Amino acid sequence: MNSLRWLPVHLAGIMLYFIPLVALFLSWLFLDEQFTFLQGVGFIVTVLSVYFLNRKYSEE
């Protein structure tokens, strides 16, 4: 909650979408888990949605 003093609320909310991506990457890196096609599609969809949301708010 301390980060809300420094970040706008919409940006903090958007950054929450990266938590599963970081968990996926770390499990692949440290636990040698396999990266499936469906996870790859979800990864791409999540990154694109964050990109478009940031683009929308940067125009305002």
Q: Where are the domains of the chain?
A: 2-59
Nearest to 40, CA basis, from 32, 48, 50: 48
pLDDT digits (tens, 9 = 90+) for 39-53: 889 889 988 988 887
pLDDT at residue 37, as a whole number: 94
Distance CA 32, CA 17 (A): 23
The identity of residue 24, as a single letter, is L
Nearest to 54, CA basis, from 21, 6, 13, 19: 13
CA 37 distance to own-chain centroid: 18
CA dihedral of residues 35, 38, 42, 47 (deg, nearest 10): 60
- pLDDT tops 70 at residue 57: no
pLDDT digits (tens, 9 = 90+) for 1-56: 576 678 777 777 777 888 888 898 899 899 999 989 998 898 899 889 888 877 77
pLDDT at residue 26, as a whole number: 94
pTM: 0.62
